[in-house]
Amino acid sequence: MRFTPQTLDFLFENKLNNNKEWFHSHKQEYQELVLDPLVDLVEKLTPTVLKIDPQFITIPKPTKAISRIYRDTRFSKDKSLYRDNMWILFIRDKKLYHGLPAYFADISANGLEYGVGYYKVSSESMLCYRDMILKKEPAFLQAKQAVEKAKIFSLYGEPLKRSKAPNEPEDIKNWLDRKQIGVSNTITDFDLVFSEDLYQTIAKGFEQLKPVYDFLMAVETRRSHNNRED
């Protein structure tokens, strides 16, 4: 199974109609156009991600490795019932671990974005993260080198209003001065997005980003150690 232009058409129309009656009357289309390709993508990427972290959850179901199409509107001004994007997420069990980094791939009308970053990052983690960067620890330097070597990835995350280290070089401040952190690439070549070879491109990118994941997990190890000492 693979994504098609009809996948994006369905996501757009579903959000535009924004009612349960329309969704349930088109549920077979949701299954075939959206969910089945996501299941297929999870299954094809599973061998790659389990080599990176054997503790990743790879169950190809909504609320596991696949997002729900329903939006959580409890704390949002946008009360749309449905989202116009869907994603897969490889992360350790959130019932056992809180706020860990994860691998993801997100499809929308803008393309397919894939990468690695925090699902929900704590302030304690960001303190450890910045400290490890400022100390130029090997895990950070390897992550930075991996991103620069691949050339296709960019850092994302809301920028800080004031730099944490104004005297650092710009390439270091680019990592430091964010409220949260992740690294991703967006495929805007829809011939590739809709091809059977898509998973190979994502798998290669996931492997290239392993040093970034390792660095962020090292941050979490440091945070846990600091908490035990406190």
> Is the whole-model pTM more than 0.75?
yes
How does pLDDT run across 66-78, given as a tens digit for each residue?
999 998 887 777 8
Calculate ∠ Cα 212-115-85, nearest 5°.
155
Which strands sit side by side in the sheet containing 86-90, from one edge to the other?
86-90, 101-108, 111-118, 182-187, 154-156
62 φ, ψ (degrees, to nearest 5): -60, 140
In Å, what is the CA distance from 223 to each residue of 110, 166, 209?
A: 35, 24, 21
Residue 35 predicted with pLDDT over 80: yes
Which pLDDT does position 75 carry in this prediction? 75
Which pLDDT does position 141 carry in this prediction? 98
Task: Tell which residue, 104, 147, 131, has the closest CA to residue 221.
Answer: 131
- DSSP output for 18-60: -SHHHHHHTHHHIIIIIIHHHHHHHHHHHHHHHHH-TT-----
Joined tokens for residue 128: 């450890």
How does pLDDT run across 152-200, given as a tens digit for each residue?
999 999 999 999 899 999 999 999 999 999 999 999 999 999 999 999 9
Domains and CATH numbers, the chain: 5-229 (3.30.930.20)
Q: Which amino acid is at 92?
A: R
Which pLDDT does position 212 carry in this prediction? 98
Residue 54 predicted with pLDDT over 80: yes
Which pLDDT does position 41 carry in this prediction? 98
